[in-house]
A and B are shown apart, each in its own frame.
Chain A
Amino acid sequence: MRPARALVAGAAVATLFLTAACTTDTPTDPADGGGETSAEETDGGEETGGADSEWFVQADYDRQLAQREVVPEGPGEEPWLQAIEPEYVDTAEFASEGGDKTLCFSNASVSNPWRVTGWITMQQQVEVLQEDGLIGEFRVSDAADDDNKQISDIQAFVEAGDCDAIIVSPSTTATLTPAVEAACESGKPVIVFDRGVESDCMVTFIHPIGGYAYGADGAEFLVDNLEPGSKVLALRILPGVDVLENRWAAADKIFSESELEVVGTEFTGGDAAAIKDLVTQYLQRGDVDGIWMDAGDGAVAAVEAFEDAGKPYPVFMGEDEMSFLRKWQDTDMTAIGAVYSNFQWRTPILAAQKIWAGEEVPSEWVLPQAPIEAEELDAYLDANAEMPSLHYAKFGGEDLPGFPEAWTDR
């Protein structure tokens, strides 16, 4: 019976290796040109996204990259009220006197530190308006990343009928569209922010410039700061999430037009242990000169992998998360902190205030989104000195009355 056992085990392993062989076969033949980078070859299959995938839309890419250069309208010291190339819509139909409004918010989730930080900022902004007497009740539903839950949350707001405005941060784009449209039809002003929906029925859609700009900020930095022929490792969280796919698609586009070599793109789930393990393995096989990340979670683990392997620091793209910014300062490496503007969580509350006052708001409210560069690093570290490590530097709540305790005691 032992041979039988071994047979089964052998068969199982053989199956694994067969599947392995199939997948490794696709990306073989090297580019004949030689001028192109190996990005296409290393990614291989269509399912890994990139510049040749359905996730890349040239027009959106061009627009977002151009928007980075546009000077936004609005007060410079309050970026959460600024807008890039706004087209204003009249909101007189929603104007209403008096205070004690009921503001309803359907939140996709607070399942990552970025959303937690923004959620605190939003609550602090609401408190200010509650003190003023404008907002009576702030009614919140957290869908915990569940589309079905969020659809019923929004329906509940509509059926209750007493929401004076409905704010939605959708968990996914396509699935939430009908629910948001139903909310629009109820006649209440609807405000959508962060991820969008496939509709323009809402009064305003608030978001930073976007994923292409985020991915491009990091990729351009690596191209500018690395010698031609240098090796870049791309660390990604998950496949198939549009905001993250757009970031990689832009970077892939830029890398493929550069002379950098992408030695690998790996999905890490944002798990620090997985990131450290993967980077360590790449370092065992050869040098890595640059790291690109589609989100900063676990960036410090990637840096530590270089330290523990005794290798020089790479040129690094992280995020404006405090743990990374502090590591950046400690190590003095060449790095950039890409930013997906966290202060956007304030804007929907202020938009509701404007809409109730009958003031015009941009129909698509594009907030500025600028990375943190080396010369700004110290200023952001000073400003956020008391903040915990999973806080985001551009959270935009320094002038709110709860600062800093609300963010430090989370």
Chain B
Amino acid sequence: MTTVATRRELPVRAPRPSLLERLTAGGSWTVFALLLLVFVLIFVMNPSFAEPSSLMAFVKKAAPLVILAIGQYFVIVSGEFDLSVGSLVGAQVVIAAKVMDGQDELTWPVTALMIGFGLLVGLVNGLVTTLLKVPSFITTLGMMLVLYGAIRLWTGGAPTGALTEQFRQWGRGGIFGEPGQFQVPYALIVVVVLGVLAVLLMRRPFGRTLMATGDNDVAASYSGSPVWWVRTRAFLLSGFMATIAGILIGGYAGVTAQVGEGLEFMAITAVVLGGVVLGGGRGTVVAAMAGALTLEALFTLFNQLGLPSTIRPVVQGVIIIAAVAYAAMPRKARRRRPAVPPPSAAGDAAEPKEPAPTHA
């Protein structure tokens, strides 16, 4: 009983830290430090990377993963997983190429179709997870396979068709300047807009409820929030973000059979690297975005070092395990801390336990 009381008082610890503190809460300062370190190393190895046009090229490459990380953040912070985003990105690009088939007048209708499809996939993921009580790990793993197979079934094994230039500009083009020179990529604008919206959303009641649901869904539902709908909305957001990422990736590099492969684990790695706790309830969206940037920067660094690209899965695996392990450590410490200040409570708790061994 006493422990419940002390836990209830915990929020008192939180109120109104400075903006900077809040931004870096949840251990996310590490990811910014790491991001800085990786960038410094890249600059040292290759000074030309610091040129604005090189940085913008990096942004174009990294933008889709950052956006996927935002979507994955919503799902992970609510206590679930979305493994279907990689397949969804691939499916979206292939659908776009096949339906559009290079016809300019179809650019916008197909974009709308893609957003609709992304939301539909998110809705199915969400409802199956929340209403049918299938663990999201299984739901989205199933969705990943369904999309992977369905797309190959539909296209006969390999993608067909073509994307229009108008469609591709979002991932490839930019404004203020000539192609080939310095340009502000549309991808950067999209990332900034979505990032700001995500931060604002997390500060609204929905964001707070999402966080609370991830922390303790029983408590959240007792306090009156519709847990199923909160989590379903997280999946909807993830589906939407995957669609935007698909538009940018398709634009960046065009359509190939491999597009989207492995992105779900990249996104999860990025979010975890940003200090967001698997299982939900902790972490900031800005740190998740920084995690995505760090991961892309790390891979860029590996290229600069001349490492084979086959090292990437190894690195991702190490990051996931290390980050989760180190996120688990402070939790134990934190739980102990509130128990220490009221010594009487600790004593009370200890005493009744003490006799048990002696009796035995």
Contact = CB atoms under 8 A, between A and B. Distances in A.
Contact of A301 (B181, B254, B326): B254
Contacts of A275: 253
Contact of A389 (B152, B161, B305): B161
B292 to A, nearest CB: 14
Given A270-B256, A276-B253, A27 B306 contact: yes
Interface string B121-160: 0000000000000000000000000000000100111111
- In the complex, which of the residues A268, A304, A388 has the most CB atoms of chain B within 10 Å of its own CB atom? A388
Given A8-B322, A111-B157, A239 B180 contact: no
B225 interface: no
Chain A: interface size category: 35 or more
A178 B193 CA distance: 59
A112 B257 contact: yes
A271 B261 contact: yes
B24 to A, nearest CB: 11
Interface stretch (A9-17, A68-76, A213-221, A250-258): A9-17
Interface string B227-254: 0000000000000000000000100111
Interface stretch (A18-26, A160-168, A348-356): A18-26
B46 interface: yes
B221 interface: no
Q: Tell me if A's interface is mostly helix, strand, loop or mixed.
A: helix
Interface in A262-289: 264, 266-278, 280-281, 284-285
A307 B179 contact: yes
Contacts of B27: 2, 5
Interface residues of B, number: 61
Contacts of A271: 253, 256, 258-259, 261
B223 interface: no
Contact of B160 (A23, A109, A390): A390
A116 interface: yes
A40 B34 CA distance: 34
A308 interface: yes
B309 A270 contact: no
Contact of B253 (A8, A11, A273): A273
A164 B256 CA distance: 38
B61 A9 contact: no
Interface of B: 27, 30, 33-34, 37, 46, 48-49, 51, 53-54, 57, 61, 64, 152, 155-162, 172, 178-181, 249, 252-259, 261, 298, 300, 302-311, 315, 318-319, 322-323, 325-326, 329-330, 333-334
29 contacts: A1-B333, A4-B329, A5-B326, A6-B30, A8-B322, A9-B322, A9-B326, A12-B318, A110-B157, A113-B157, A239-B310, A266-B303, A270-B256, A270-B257, A271-B256, A271-B258, A272-B253, A273-B252, A276-B61, A281-B304, A284-B46, A284-B51, A304-B253, A307-B180, A309-B53, A310-B181, A323-B162, A389-B255, A390-B158
